[in-house]
Each structure stands twice: as structure tokens, then as C-alpha cells.
Amino acid sequence: MGFDNMANKDTVEQFLDNNPQFAKEYYDKKVKAEVITAAFNNQVKVKEPTSYKDVSALQEAEFIFELVKEMQGTEPMEKALHKILQRIALLIQADRCSYFGCRARNGVPELSTILFDVTHNSPFNINLVNPNVEIVFPTDMGIVGWTAHSKKAQNIPDVKKDKHFSDFVDKQCKYTTKCMITAPIMNEKEPIGVIMALNKQGANEFSKSDQELFNKYVNFASVVVLLAHTASMWDIESRRSQVLLWSASKVFEELTDIERQFHKALYTVRTYIKCERYSVGLLDMTKEKEFFDEWAIKLGEQEPYKGPKTPDGREINFYKIIDYLLEDKEEIKVIPGPPADHWALVSGLPAYVAENGFICNMMNAAADEYFAFQKEAVDETGWTIKNVLSLPIVNKKEEIVGVATFFNRKDGKPFDENDEQITEALTQFLGWSTLNSDTYDKLNRTEWRKDIAQGMLMYQSTATPNDVQTILVNKFGSGPEDCDQKEMYKLANIPEAKTVELHEFHFSDFPLSEFELIKCGIRCFFELGVVEKFKVPAEILTRWMYTVRKGYRDITYHNWRHGFNVGQTMFTLLLTGKLKKYYSDLEAFAMVAAGFCHDIDHRGTNNLYQTKSLSPLAKLHSSSVMERHHLEYSKTLMEDENLNIFQNLQKRQFETVQHLFEVCIIATDLALYFKKRTMFQKIVESIEGIPEEKEKVNYVSNNATRKEIIMAMMMTACDLSAITKPWEVQSKVALMVAAEFWEQGDLERTVLDQQPIPMMDRNHADELPKMQCGFIDFVCSFVYKEFSRLHTEITPMFNGLNINRGEWRALADVHEAKMKAIEDEKKKLQGGDAQGERRCLKSHSLLLILIFALSPGSHCLPHLFLLPVKMAGRQRRVLSARPPGPSEHL
């Protein structure tokens, strides 16, 4: 039998009456508004029934038709449902009826009022519950809860005698429930709502026929609710798939930068996440701090971190927040280094989610006792936080890389399980996206490494047997490997330390050839006594020293001569400067070796240039770009057994050497100088206050951190030592440094099409003396002054510096006098003093730049003296990704 044959309304009604099960099943599974429309295409006018007595079967059929019409229209489901509830109230003489919707949050099912206190003639807009005032209770509460839980209709003649009854809602509404009748609305096996009728008028309980009538109308209600439910599920499904689709396309579009990826995905899905705002906090992925960031904590100058940590042990640090404000006009705010009282963080919920990995779905956030959400408006828009859904973004390694928090669903209702699912799908995707990026990143890193390796090959190869033999000759003419090493060096013509003034602070490499400097390098290790102590084979030491030399490129300043000078100064600080007493032989060995290696494979351009020119090195290292490269290069040499001067060390000793190489070489990044100088000064002051010599030594040598800080400052003293050399050396070296800067400036102009800063601009060459004075005053003076305070043996360096300061000042004065003469001349010609003022301004602003550049954390730093910008950094890499495990719920 088909519906199309049933034009007769009575027949329809009769049929539905007699086959409620069929009707329900049919509607449950198949019904579509269009089908029903097609079946009932007659217009039927429904009269407003005046009393239940007037209700006839015909009217009832009319009522059903009206319902059907409403269902296919654009009216909300609640409107049709309201009609049904009114009808029920009328027919079974219930005092009032209500409809509760089922939903789940945090995995817990609950019921909320949707249509409340419907009487046979109460207006819809009064009965429809505003989400702000809905009554919510769990399904283990009350008879309505029990109806949803048991999925069975209930007819309770006296609620006081029913164990499931709860007066929770009665109390809230100041109402007394006596008897009630309820029925669940089911979708397949799950309840999606409960219809309830209260207090039979004119009787104490609902009769059996009331129950039948009630059930009949519940069936109609089911159709209405199911239709709406299907539509909303479809909407959710399509949103879910769109979220995935969009994230996918956007995520795969941008593969290089995780942040941009997150941002793009989140931005694109904003229309599908129906909420007023969301905020994404990105977590610092650093597991271990840089050695220099731990100094202050180890010295007790900074409180160790005591806050919550991620499950994998990271400190919870939201290094950046992206806020999506979608209430009225869209706005996206990126907040690097957000303050702890930022509105999205201040509650502590994102940190909690990052700590536990939970998905947290909270309604009425302001009332929460555990998390202190901002109750007032968070900003000038007057927007306040109501409902919150927060969830972790987890990568493949199950590491939490960020926290996404969604605020205030647009319809005012709390977030439900569908929102949880939709956002979880999104955050999963973001987690996966880090996988892609990571794979890609790894691939690229391999590529970059290859580029770098190729670059290295061009400049460097290990010393050939011939090279080695030029140093290690023996009288029998056989290969060096057959020879006793001590014997060999005796014959090898290694210069005596005294002859070349190797122990002197005023040592100059000028009289020596680059080849002789290799031999001098070897001599340093013999003078230190480490060759025999650590069983360094002569051939290996020779080959290593030769290879280090070859690792330096033939550039204007950062060449082998500079590398050698740093190693030599370290050697001199240790022995002549008597700093050796704080360090073991092994440490001294590593420090001098690191000094020789510290600028290996330098390209004559600074860190900022690497970043700006997108060099492979800048892609590989996010901070201290060049220094990390020098370090890696040096470590690569150690990996080659033919070059490894540390090959006869025990494992622990070898690890110590590797660590010291890191401290020493990274310390030459001048950007870190400003981090360490106060700590260094405090150590010097403390030592000064210790009367006993033995105690002084113990104070340093028994404390690894103090040793590291002094060591790091020694590296700076070595690296800048040219400024302390006799004037005839310094004046030449300064020109070489400047020449290399100018070459970089030329590159910036030609390759990058950028105007170089004055220091690198050869058009400003005549300002060199003034810049040198600034450099001495703001950077160098401190270093040598403090070292002279620490050990008077080091005073020659400070003296040398001061002499050079005088020389540069004199030159600067000459230049300035010349400039002044020129300008006075101009002034005379022009008859005004505008020029003079401008000049004044100019030198004033240079001073400002200097001061600004030298304040810690300043981003101007790299522009000025020497080096690198990217302060140890914000730019973190998230390692990899897999979908998160089963999410835990609160």
C-alpha cells in the first residue's frame, strides 16, 4: 500500500492511529518532508480548538496536516513541537508540558530545557527557552533523566512515591509536581529528547487512555524532532567534512612553517566553527634549555621554573597566541610572548589542558571555581566569556604542541559533543599537519645539509699525507706513522714558543706565514702538556690542525689567522693570564682547540646576512646561525677517526669536550655576550671578596656554571682580542674587519637590493674611528676591565685597549675637526646653521643607536657591532605528528 493512494484524511489518521509502530519506524527511517508533501497535497484549514471536547477526529487529522506543512517549511523544529505539546496539554488535560533535549558534554549525557511549561494556549516565544536560562541536569537525575536513561516512557501517578523523582526543577520554578507522564524521543537506539506532561487537571493521575493519546502525539513529535535532528546531523557532518577538507587543502599548501600552517587552517575553518572567538596558544617545544639560559638558575639568581609541565616534561610556555575574534567584524590578533594575564590565558585553563591533555568543555565559565575566567568584558568591545571548549593540539609523538580554545557558541548554547568532535577533528588535523611539515622539513634539512656539505667541500678537504709530511718529516724519509711522536716533533721544526712570543698577549701573527701558524697551533698543545697526557697521536694532531686551517676560507678577516689568534689568546689567558688554575688539563685542551675552530668555514657575512639571504645555514639553525655551523663543522672533524685528537679519551671525557666546544663556540655569538656579562661581573666581584687564594680557586673550579660563564667570557675576550693588540696590529686588523663588513654591505646592496647599515657601508668609511671608539666603550672595555680585575696578569690586554682607544679617539677628533671645518665653510657660504644642527643630530642619533643596540634583548644589536640577530629563539620547531590517542575527558 502506498501513501499516494490515500487521499482521504480520515484514512490517514486511522492508519496512523492503528499502526503507531509503523508510523514511528517509517518516520524514523525514511520520512522526508518532500515525500509527505507529495502524499498530502490538499490544503487543510485548521481551526483553533476552543476546548478539548470539541476535538474531533477530523480536526486531529487537520492538525496533523498543519504539522506536516510546518515541518517542510523554514520554521524551526521547536515551533511544530510547541504545537504538539499544546495539543497534548489540551487532550490529556495536563497542567503543562515540556520538551527536554539530550546532549553530552565531556562525555557526560545531560538534558536541557528547550520548550518549557507549555500549556494549551501559552505563546511560543514564552515557552521557547533562551539558552542563557536553560535548566540543565544530568540523565541520572529526576524522572525525565530516568526516561532518557532507561529509554522507556513513564507514567507516574504520585511522584513523591517514585525513587527517581527529583524536585530540582520544581524548586527552581516554585512549582509542585504531583503526577507526570513522560516519553523519550529516540533516534535509533539513542534518546535525543524527552517529552513530559505534568499534573492531570481534574484528576490525581493520568489514565490509560491519556497515556495512549500521549504516546500517539509523542510519535508525531518524534517525526518532527527526528527531521530536525537529521538536518542538524547533516549540518554537523558536512561541517566536519568541510573542516577536514579545508584544513587539508590549506595545510598541504603551506608546508614550511608550522605557525603559518596552524594559522591558515584555523583561519579558513572559522566559518565552520560556530563560535564567537577562538584562541590558539602555541607551546614552546624546547625540552632542554640552552646552556646559557640555565646559568642564572644554576647560580641561584633566577627562580627555577615551578609551574606546570606538559606530559613530556616541557615547561608550559605559550610563546605565541593567535586570537580569532569573530563576533562582529573579523579580527585576528597575533600576540608573541603573551602576558600571563591575557584574557585567553588568565583562567589557567589552556595551561591545564597543556598539562593534562584533556578536552575541557565548560558552560557558564564565569561561575567556575577552579578556573578564574575573566568575569568582566575582556576588552573594549564588551565581549564576555560564557562557554568554553578547550582542547590540546597533539603531534605524532603525542607531544602537546598547542592548545585551541573556543569561546561562546554563536547560538548561545554550550558546546556539545558534536562541537567536541568537530574541534577535535580540527586539532587532530593540526597535529597531523606537523607530521607533514616535519617530513618535509627533514627532507629539506637533508638537502640543506647537502648544500652546506658541498659548500664545505669546495673550500675544505682534509690534510693530505703530503700536507702532514711537510710538518712531520723524519730523517729516514719513512712515513710519519712509523715514527715515535716525540721524536718526530723534535725533528719537525715546530717553532719554540719563546721565539714566536706564543705566551704573550701582544703576540702578532703578522710575521708568521699561515703554514707556520699551523705549527704554532701544535706548539700550543705541547706547551699545555695535553699531547702526552691525553695520548694524542702526532700524526692525528698534525692532520687535525692542518684540516682546521683548511676549514677556514680565504676571506678578508674571518680567516685562519683570526681562528689561530683566538686559539692563541685562549692559550695565553690560561697560562700567562693564570686562568688555567680553575680548569683541568682536559678542559684547557678543549678550550684552546675550540678557540682554533671557533669561526671555521666563516663566509665573511654575519648571522643577519644569513637570515636575510635565506642561506641554507639560516634554514638549519634558528639562532646563532654561523656559530652553530662552526660548532657542527668542528664536531664533524671529531667524528673522523683520522682527525680526532680526542680519540684516546674515555667516553665521559669525550662528552665533556663536546659540551665545552658548544659552550665556547656558541659563546662567540656576541648576542649572548649581553646575557652573560652581569653574571660574569658578579662572579668577579665575589672572587675579589674572597681572601684566601685556595678558596678563590675552589669557588670557581668546584662550580661548573661559574667555570662555564668565565669560559664563555674568555672566548669573547679572545674573539675581540685584536682590539687590545699593539696599535700597528690593531689599526691594520680593524681595517680588515671593516673591509669585510663593507664587502657584506656591497652584497646587501647588490644581492639583496638593500641599503646597508653605516657600519657596513663603505661610504661611511671615514666614520670608522668613531665607531671603533663606540665599540670599545660599549662592548670591549667591560670585558678586559673585568678580566684585569680578576687577574692582574691580564692587565696588558686592558692597557692595550686603552692605548688603542686613545689612538682611535685622536683619529676621530681629526676627522670631526675636518668635518666641522667643512661645515663651517658651508655655513659661511650658506649663511645659516641648519647643516650644523643636522650634523649634531646625526652624531647624537648614532649614540642612541649604540645605546639601544647594546641594551639586552635589543633587536637592533646585529645591525651594529658585528653580529647576529636572532636572539635565542622563539622560532621553535615542532618535531612530528600522529593522530592523538583516545582523548581523555574531564
Instruction: Please select the residue that binds Zn ion; options are 323, 669, 719, 767, rule is CB under 5 A.
Output: 719
Is the CB of residue 707 less than 8 Å from the CB of residue 816? no
* Cβ proximity to Zn ion, 154 vs 607, nearer residue: 607
Taken in order 37, 38, 40, 43, is the CA torsion positive or negative?
A: positive
* Cβ proximity to Zn ion, 240 vs 628, nearer residue: 628
* Cβ proximity to Zn ion, 420 vs 599, nearer residue: 599
Instruction: Please give the distance of CA 417 from its chain centroid, rounded to a whole number.
Output: 28
763's CB contacts (< 8 A; 6+ apart) are: none
**Residue 737 beta carbon to Zn ion: minimum distance, rounded to whole angstroms:** 10
**Residue 558 beta carbon to Zn ion: minimum distance, rounded to whole angstroms:** 6
Q: Name the one range near Zn ion by CB under 5 A: 48-56, 127-135, 719-727, 792-800.
A: 719-727
563's CB contacts (< 8 A; 6+ apart) are: 548, 549, 552, 595, 596, 597, 598, 599, 600
Q: Residue 795: which of 599, 631, 577, 619 has the closest Cα?
A: 577
Angle between helices 693-701 and 670-688 (to 10 degrees): 150
Q: Name the one range near Zn ion by CB under 5 A: 86-94, 219-227, 712-720, 804-812.
A: 712-720
**Residue 326 beta carbon to Zn ion: minimum distance, rounded to whole angstroms:** 51
Phi, psi angles (nearest 5°) of residue 250: -75, -40
Ligand-binding annotation for 343, yes or no, is no
* Cβ proximity to Zn ion, 67 vs 867, nearer residue: 867
Ligand-binding annotation for 598, yes or no, is yes
Annotation says 558 is catalytic: yes
Map residues 587-606 to x or -, x wherever contact with Zn ion holds by CB under 5 A: ------------x-------
Ligand-binding annotation for 761, yes or no, is no
Q: Name the one range near Zn ion by CB under 5 A: 510-518, 718-726, 825-833, 837-845.
A: 718-726
**Residue 465 beta carbon to Zn ion: minimum distance, rounded to whole angstroms:** 30
Is the CB of residue 274 less than 8 Å from the CB of residue 256? no
Name the 3-class secondary structure at 191: strand
Is the CB of residue 10 less than 8 Å from the CB of residue 57? yes
* Cβ proximity to Zn ion, 602 vs 805, nearer residue: 602
Map residues 352-381 to x or -, x wherever contact with Zn ion holds by CB under 5 A: ------------------------------
Spatial distance between the Cα atoms of 684 and 164, rounded to a whole number of angstroms? 77
Looking at the chain, the number of H-run helices and the number of E-run strands are 33, 13
- Amino acid identity at 438: D
User: Which residues, 634 to 663, sit near Zn ion by CB under 5 A?
Assistant: none
Query: In terms of C-beta density within 10 A (0-12 exposed, 13-18 middle, 19 or more buried), how is residue 44 classed?
Result: middle
Q: Residue 882: which of 465, 433, 426, 357 has the closest Cα?
A: 433
Label the pairing between strands 180-187 and 154-156.
antiparallel
**Residue 719 beta carbon to Zn ion: minimum distance, rounded to whole angstroms:** 4
Residue 856 burial (CB count, 10 A): 12
Please work out the total of residues on this chain that contact Zn ion, with binding judged by CB under 5 A.
2
Q: Name the one range near Zn ion by CB under 5 A: 151-159, 374-382, 627-635, 711-719.
A: 711-719
Ligand-binding annotation for 560, yes or no, is yes
Label the pairing between strands 94-105 and 190-200.
antiparallel
User: Which residues, 544 to 583, sit near Zn ion by CB under 5 A?
Assistant: none
* Cβ proximity to Zn ion, 62 vs 719, nearer residue: 719
Q: Name the one range near Zn ion by CB under 5 A: 401-409, 637-645, 713-721, 880-888.
A: 713-721
Instruction: Please give the distance of CA 460 from its chain centroid, rounded to a whole number.
Output: 37
User: Which residues, 106 to 125, sit near Zn ion by CB under 5 A?
Assistant: none
84's CB contacts (< 8 A; 6+ apart) are: 67, 217, 220, 221, 224
Residue 479 burial (CB count, 10 A): 13
User: Which residues, 26 to 55, sit near Zn ion by CB under 5 A?
Assistant: none
* The three cell numbers locating residue 392: 590540546
Exactly one of 149, 558, 629, 863 is catalytic; name it: 558
* Cβ proximity to Zn ion, 509 vs 719, nearer residue: 719
* Cβ proximity to Zn ion, 419 vs 719, nearer residue: 719
**Residue 669 beta carbon to Zn ion: minimum distance, rounded to whole angstroms:** 10
**Residue 333 beta carbon to Zn ion: minimum distance, rounded to whole angstroms:** 41
Is the CB of residue 211 less than 8 Å from the CB of residue 203? no
Ranked by CB distance to Zn ion, the top (closest) residue is: 599
**Residue 288 beta carbon to Zn ion: minimum distance, rounded to whole angstroms:** 26
**Is residue 740 near Zn ion by the rule CB under 5 A?**
no
Ligand-binding annotation for 719, yes or no, is yes
Ligand-binding annotation for 562, yes or no, is yes
- Report the catalytic residues: 558
Instruction: Tell me the binding residues.
Output: 558-562, 598-599, 719, 772
Instruction: Tell me the binding residues for Zn(2+).
Output: 562, 598-599, 719
Instruction: Tell me the binding residues for AMP.
Output: 558-562, 599, 719, 772
Report the interface residues with Zn ion, using CB under 5 A.
599, 719
